[in-house]
Amino acid sequence: MSSNLRWLDLAIVAGYMAVLVGVGIRFSRRQTSTETYFVAKRSVPAWAMGLSLVATLISSVTFVAYPGWAYGKDWSLLVPGFMVVVVLGLVGTVIIPFYREAVGMSAYEYFGRRFGRPTRVYSSIAFTLAHFSKMGFVVYLLGLTINSMTGWPVDVVILVVAAATIFYTVIGGLEAVIWADVIQGFVVWVGVIVCLGYLLFLPEGGPAAVMRVAAENHKFSLGSGAMDFSKPTLVVLIIYGFFWYLQRYVADQTVVQRYLVAKSDRAALKGVSFGAVLCVPVWTLFMLIGTCTWAFYKLTGEKLPSFVTKADQVFPYFLSTHLPIGMAGLFMASLTGAAMSMLASDLNSLAVVGVEDLYRLMRPASTDKQRLRLGKLIVAVIGLLAAGTAVILAHTKGSALSMWFSVSAVVSGGLAGLFLLAFLSRRAHRKGVYAGIAACWTFTIWATLTMGEKPWVDLGPYNFPWHDYMVGAIGHIILLTVGYAGSLLLADAAAPEERVRNATLWHWLHERRLRGPGARR
């Protein structure tokens, strides 16, 4: 692999990383309070917030795993991405202004207000588990890609990138994260256009030949339309995508935090809509890159070397061998920036949760300075743990995108169901919620242990019969239904009225009408 080690490309990557670190340094002097560190003093322009949301939803999973999946199979795993626009259309105009009124910094303040401290702690821990699992995949995929292109050890790449990300996130806060995302948003389009140009025009026959051979081999298929829940059919992917993005928009700190940084409700909605609209074309282009990579090797007859053992490695190998010096470096820089942007966003959000939902509850008399210091410490510790997780993942086998979807489907904690129960039902109360959470996790543990061709625990006919992407969606539904039924059946005389007043959709809409047009900023 040493022949692929092109120093100009690596210099471009190093320079780009230095720019992102410089952004952190640029904003470091402003980080004197948690208000600045966690929500950027609520002064971020709508367009910048939208680009930051794109970076939050797009990472090295997109850069590497989407092309990898399209190369090895088809476009079926693009289907969940379509749900991002569907969900935003359903909930955006209500959820965004609601959260901007209901919470200060953490989305899980709302669950505590509605159902008490234990539910707030549960939701914050569920969020932490889900995002921590994702962070490991993000950094792992980056290391895998750089290794395929340069031959550098995966572990070294992971540790260097993690160290740089931790540094600029610790010193620069959310302002640094958002403006680094803005830079990344412009760079990614350049990288995508350059790569597609080479993939389409290098093979003999050009774009027409590439599209023809891909279509003849059904590489553009969105999957099977069969009503089969045991495989990743269209119906399974639609259900997975709907509940995944419902959870992101209504109960995910990284997204809710973006609502809070905007200057007004209208600006927040514009920014979130802008980000969602940009995501789908980006995902589609990366699927097209994977398909074109497959067509390139099919048309040219070029053989892949023995060290390329995963579909996720093929596109990076193409970049290292067929793009001219400097062009591969540009793409590598964009990939590195994407991984750093998502990791930084998650680190800051997890710090909010740790400070606001855990530490502040235990130490209500703590000063803002103490909370700020702890937030920075949380960023550093979780960043190091994520890097360690990525190193472990680097030595596993299987499709990264499939693995990430599976993990994210399982480790979701039923938060979308919890939000719907809190937001839509006046009758829901703490005991009912506890019953719903218990039922959700009982189901999740059983399904996780018994699913797949080689389950950890084989119960024969009592194994979970459906695809693992369904676990999270069913968990949301179980928490919602059992929580509501439990609230009807179980008495909870201790539930104070103030936990319901203004905390459901119906009360909130009523209060908005009473306040008049001035409430709609």
Taking 80 as the threshold, does the pLDDT of residue 396 lie above it? Answer: no
pTM assigned to the model: 0.86
Q: Contact, 479 vs 417, CB < 8 A?
A: yes
Among 252-266, 362-376, 386-400, 459-473, whose mean pLDDT is lowest? 386-400
Q: Output the pLDDT for position 3.
A: 43
Q: Contact, 48 vs 179, CB < 8 A?
A: yes
Among 6-10, 41-45, 463-467, whose mean pLDDT is lowest? 6-10
Residue 397 structure tokens: 């086998």
Q: Which of 126-135, 274-283, 311-320, 481-490 has the highest mean pLDDT?
A: 481-490
Where is pLDDT greater, at 328 or 287? Answer: 287
Share of residues in the chain with pLDDT > 90 (%): 38
Q: Output the pLDDT for position 6.
A: 65
Taking 60 as the threshold, does the pLDDT of residue 206 lie above it? Answer: yes
Residue 344 structure tokens: 């930084």
Query: Predicted confidence band at 1 (pLDDT cuts at 50, 70, 90)?
Result: very low
Taking 80 as the threshold, does the pLDDT of residue 158 lie above it? Answer: yes
| CA 196 distance to own-chain centroid | 25
Among 111-125, 371-385, 394-408, whose mean pLDDT is lowest? 394-408
Domains for the chain: give ranges and CATH numbers: 2-405 (1.20.1730.10), 413-521 (no CATH)
Q: Output the pLDDT for position 134.
A: 79
Cα→Cα distances 362→38, 339, 357, Å:
19, 33, 9
CB proximity list for 506: less than 8 A, separation 6 or greater = 426
Average model confidence (pLDDT) for the chain?
Answer: 85
**E strand spans, 70-209:** none
One-letter amino acid of 462: Y
Q: Tens digit of pLDDT for each residue in 74-92? A: 898 889 988 988 898 888 8
| Polymer length of the chain | 521
Q: For the residues 221-248, what does the mean pLDDT come to?
A: 90
**How does DSSP assign 221-238, residue by residue?**
-----S--TTTT-HHHHH
Taking 60 as the threshold, does the pLDDT of residue 403 lie above it? Answer: no
Residue 21 structure tokens: 């670190």
Where is pLDDT greater, at 514 or 120? Answer: 120
Q: Output the pLDDT for position 513.
A: 81
Taking 70 as the threshold, does the pLDDT of residue 304 lie above it? Answer: yes
Where is pLDDT greater, at 122 or 515? Answer: 122
Q: For the residues 473-500, what does the mean pLDDT come to?
A: 81
Query: Predicted confidence band at 137 (pLDDT cuts at 50, 70, 90)?
Result: confident
Burial class (CB in 10 A: 0-12, 13-18, 19+), 88: buried
CB proximity list for 236: less than 8 A, separation 6 or greater = 228, 229, 466, 467, 469, 470
One-letter amino acid of 498: E
Q: Output the pLDDT for position 259.
A: 92
Q: Output the pLDDT for position 341.
A: 86
Name the 3-class secondary structure at 44.
Answer: strand
- Closest by Cα among 110, 115, 108 to 432: 115
Q: Output the pLDDT for position 501.
A: 57
Q: Output the pLDDT for position 498.
A: 52
Start-end of H helices in 29-65 = 34-39, 46-57, 60
Taking 80 as the threshold, does the pLDDT of residue 238 lie above it? Answer: yes
Residue 457 is classified by DSSP as S
Q: Contact, 268 vs 46, CB < 8 A?
A: yes
Where is pLDDT greater, at 258 or 329? Answer: 258
Q: Output the pLDDT for position 12.
A: 86
Q: Output the pLDDT for position 236.
A: 93
Among 155-169, 392-406, 463-477, whose mean pLDDT is lowest? 392-406
Taking 60 as the threshold, does the pLDDT of residue 364 lie above it? Answer: yes
Cβ atoms < 10 Å from Cβ of 188: 27
Taking 70 as the threshold, does the pLDDT of residue 338 lie above it? Answer: yes
Q: For the residues 356-372, what does the mean pLDDT come to?
A: 92
Share of residues in the chain with pLDDT > 70 (%): 92
R_g of the chain computed on alpha carbons: 23
Report the b/e string of 145-156 with b at 16+ CB within 10 A: bbbbbbebebee
CA angle, 203 then 207 then 212, to 5°? 95
Taking 60 as the threshold, does the pLDDT of residue 146 lie above it? Answer: yes
Q: Which helix (DSSP H) or strand (DSSP E) does residue 431 occupy?
A: helix 430-450
One-letter amino acid of 324: P
Residue 62 is classified by DSSP as I
Residue 262 is classified by DSSP as B
Q: Contact, 353 vs 252, CB < 8 A?
A: no
User: What are phi and psi for residue 55, nearest 5 degrees?
Assistant: -65, -30
Taking 80 as the threshold, does the pLDDT of residue 291 lie above it? Answer: yes
